[in-house]
Amino acid sequence: MMQFTGKVVYKGIALGPVRVWKKHDQPVRPGRITDAEAEIREVQRAGMQAKRQLLELYDRAVKEVGEADAAIFEAHRVMLEDEDYLELIYSKIRTELVNGAYAVAVTGEHFSEMFAGMEDEYMRARAADVIDVSNRLIRILEGTEEAPGDMEPSIIVADDLSPSETMQMDKEKILGFVTVRGSANSHTAILARMMNIPALVGVSLEPNQIRTGTRAVLDGFEGRVIFDPEESQCVRARERMEEEWKKRRLLEALKGKENRTRDGRIIQLYANAGSVDDIRCALENDAGGIGLFRSEFLYLGRDSFPTEEEQFRAYRQAARMMAGKKVIIRTLDIGADKQADYFRLEKEENPAMGYRAIRICLTQSEIFKTQLRALLRAAAFGNISVMYPMIISQEEVRRIGEIVKEVEAELEDDGIPYRHPEQGIMIETPAAVMISDELAELVDFFSIGTNDLTQYTLAIDRQNGKLDDFYNPRHRAVLKMIEMVVENAHRHGKWVGICGELGADPDLAETFVNMGIDELSVAPSMILKIRKAVREIGDLQINCKMAENSDQ
C-alpha cells in the first residue's frame, strides 16, 4: 500500500484501477532488419491505423468541442500523408536496414528540428505536431498504442494534463484525476469540476512508480490517494460512494424547481460552457441559461483563424440547443494562459496583465469584426447576449459600440439577417469596479468574473500553485467590490451576475442573494447544488417569525 496527499480541487470518492497517462518519451532503439520492403509495409499499415485513430478522435472532438478544436486531429492526419515525410522514412529503412520505429523517430526529429529553426512562428509551432504524429506511429509499431475506445473506467494519474490530452480521453470512463503538477485553477481542476469527479493536484508522486491497472482509492474529501488499498479501505470507499450517490439522487429531485429562497427571493442560475458539449451538460442539469459561453474554444487547438461561417454555425447551434433560454457569449479572450501561435503574440513578462482579450480585439479590428458579424447573425436564431472581457474604461465600451454599429451597417448593406443582441461587459478588473457607476450607463448588464478580479485585487497569479495558500477568493476586499458593482448596476436599472468560480460556492449563496446578485453562472455540475443552497436561504427568518408567533 502507498498513500500520497495533494490539494483537493473537487470533492468526491473514486475506487477503481489506475490509468497512468504517459507521454512517449523513451528513446527508440535501432534494430537490424533483412527485408526492407516488408518493414515499409508495416509502417504503411501503422500509418493506416494512425489515420483511423485520428479520424475517431476528430469525430469525437467535433461532438464534444466543435469543428474548430477538432481541426488539430485532421491536420495530424494530413501530415501522415506528407510525401517528403514518408519518403525519408522509407529511404532510411532501405539504405540503412533499420526497423520502422527507429526510422520514424529519426525522421520525426529531423523535421521537428527543421521547423523549430524557422523564423516564422507558425512554422516553428509545427515542430511539436511532427513529434506528436511520429510518436503515434512509433507506439503502433512497437505495440504500445492504446486505442481510445480501449480505455476502461479509470483514475487518471499524470504529471500534468493539457487540454489536447484530455480531449483524447473518453470522459465517460474517467473516475478521477491525480496530477503531480497543476493548481486549483488548472485545466485539470476546471475539467474535474465540470465533470463532477474527484481530483487532486500537487501530489508528490512519481507517475512511473505506479503501474496502470493498480487499484486505488481517491479520497477527494481528505485529499489523499491510496494505491493497492487494503480491503477494509475499499469497503469504506464503496460505502462513502453510496452515500454520495444518494445525495446526488436528492439533488436530481430539484430539477424543474424554482431558484427561490424560503422568503420569496428569486435568483437566476445559469451554466458556464466552454464547448457545445458543455451545453448538453447544462441542459441535463436544468440550467436556466448559459451565463458564460467561452468563444475562445473556436480559436484554440488550430492553425488559423476560424472563419465567420464556422463561428456563426457554432453560435447558432448554441442558441438553438438552449431553445429560447439566454446564451451569453463572451467575445475572444485569447492571451495570458490561452495562447494560439497563429496570433503571433510576442512573449510578455507579465501576460496576465498584458496584450489580451478586448485589447487584441480593439487593436486588430478585423478579427473582432469577423466575430461580431457571426454573433449578430446568430442572434437572429435565438436569445443571444454578448459580453466583452477585460474592460477598464468608458472609452473602450464606447469604441466597442462604434464597431458594433459599423458591423450592423455592413450586414445591412449585404442584406444579411441579424439582430442587435443585449450588450454587457465583464467586471474583472479593479478599475472596472471603481467606475462601474459610469459603465452601467453604457451597457445592458454586468457579469463579474471573480477569478481574474480576485487575481488582480490580491496581486496573485492564480495559475501559480505555490500561491494557492495565499489565494483567497473570499477576501473581504473582493466581496466589497462585488457589493459595490451590484449597487451601481441596480442604481441604473441594470442586472448583474457572477460567472467566476466564486459563484459556485454554496456557502456564499446567501451572501450573494443578500447583496442583490441577479444571476449566478456556474459549472453545469454545480447547478443543482447551488439551487439547493438558494432554496434553503431564509430558514432563520422563518424560524424567528414562528418563535415570535408562539410567544404571542
Of 110, 187, 475, 490, which residue is the catalytic one?
A: 187
User: Which of helix, strand or coil describes residue 217?
Assistant: strand
Residues 65-97 as b/e (b if ≥16 CB within 10 A, e otherwise) read: bbbbbbbbbbbbbebbeeeebbebbbebbeeee
Taken in order 157, 161, 164, 170, the sign of the CA dihedral is: positive
Is residue 10 within 8 A of residue 196, CB to CB? The reply is yes
In angstroms, rounded to a whole number, what is the distance separating the alpha carbons of residues 6 and 204? 7
C-alpha cell at 521: 453562472
Q: How many CB atoms lie within 10 A of CB 263?
A: 13
Is residue 503 within 8 A of residue 522, CB to CB? The reply is yes
Of 76, 281, 361, 499, which residue is the catalytic one?
A: 499
In angstroms, rounded to a whole number, what is the distance separating the alpha carbons of residues 272 and 290? 6
Is residue 371 within 8 A of residue 332, CB to CB? The reply is yes
In angstroms, rounded to a whole number, what is the distance separating the alpha carbons of residues 453 and 431? 10
Residues 6+ apart with CB under 8 A from 120: none
Report the length, in residues, of the chain. 552
In angstroms, rounded to a whole number, what is the distance separating the alpha carbons of residues 186 and 466? 13
Is residue 342 within 8 A of residue 122, CB to CB? The reply is yes
At residue 244, φ and ψ (nearest 5 deg) are -65, -35
In angstroms, rounded to a whole number, what is the distance separating the alpha carbons of residues 503 and 509? 7
Is 492 annotated as catalytic? no
C-alpha cell at 528: 443543482
Strands 224-227 and 2-5, sheet pairing: antiparallel
C-alpha cell at 139: 507506439
Tell me the CA distances in angstroms from 145 to 148, 332, 420, one per residue in order.
9, 36, 50
C-alpha cell at 27: 528513446
User: Which of helix, strand or coil describes residue 244?
Assistant: helix
In angstroms, rounded to a whole number, what is the distance separating the alpha carbons of residues 262 and 50? 57
Residues 318-352 as b/e (b if ≥16 CB within 10 A, e otherwise) read: bbebbeebbbbbbbbbbbbebebbebebeeeeebe
Is 499 annotated as catalytic? yes
Residues 6+ apart with CB under 8 A from 201: 6, 7, 9, 177, 179, 181, 182, 183, 184, 186, 188, 189, 465
Number of H helices, E strands in the chain: 20, 16
C-alpha cell at 222: 481528505
Please compute, for residue 494, the number of CA atoms within 13 A of its CA located in the half-sphere on the CB side.
24
Catalytic residues: 187, 499
